[in-house]
Structure 1
């Protein structure tokens, strides 16, 4: 579980990131969760965009992605979700 200070730090890091995944009409599926897990292992911090044609609520999408990828939701802003997961091999981010 992330503290408030850690979430603030991650939000500042994620500010300049571009979304690398998009959740569309089909919603969250196993293949997407697997790819997000791999991306989190490489990058530790990613941004996911939710398209307007997505039928699911953004909080539901964030919950499914974080549970499936075993990641923490650092932020939900607008239609973007910021996910963080500490990498085992490629550690880049030092949390305060």
Structure 2
């Protein structure tokens, strides 16, 4: 596991219910902004995609999601991706 993850993060990610569902419109700006907002509040979230939302390669889509939300991809299972973003110190 990467040093950028706290210990036990994959286990926590596996047990989380999906907090956001992405529909057939895919990764719209609205969806990206909602994911960013949830990451600011919770640090670790799970995003579930409908199979109609994925046009092409899932791995590439999950990688794009992590890049666009400035987060780290922790775990992927099927059509679900878990993302982690360390809370900013205020």
TM-score normalised to the size of structure 1? Answer: 0.79
- List 4+ stretches of structure 1 deviating above 3 A: 4-8
Structure 2 unpaired stretches of 5+? none
Contact 1:27 1:61 in 2 (8 A): no
Q: CA deviation at 1:61?
A: 2.2
Q: Distance in 1 between matches of 2:21 and 2:6?
A: 22
Q: What is the rounded CA distance, in whole Å, between the counterparts of 1:89 and 1:7 in structure 2?
A: 16
Unmatched runs of 5 consecutive residues or more in structure 1: 91-96
Please, what is the CA RMSD of the aligned residues?
A: 2.3
Give the Cα separation in 1 of the matches to 2:77 and 2:3: 16
Mark the CA change 1:7 to 1:28 in structure 2 (over 3 Å): closer, same or farther.
farther
Q: Please, what TM-score do these two structures have when normalized by structure 2?
A: 0.83
2:10 matches 1:23? no
Tell me if structure 2 keeps the 8 A contact 1:73–1:84: yes
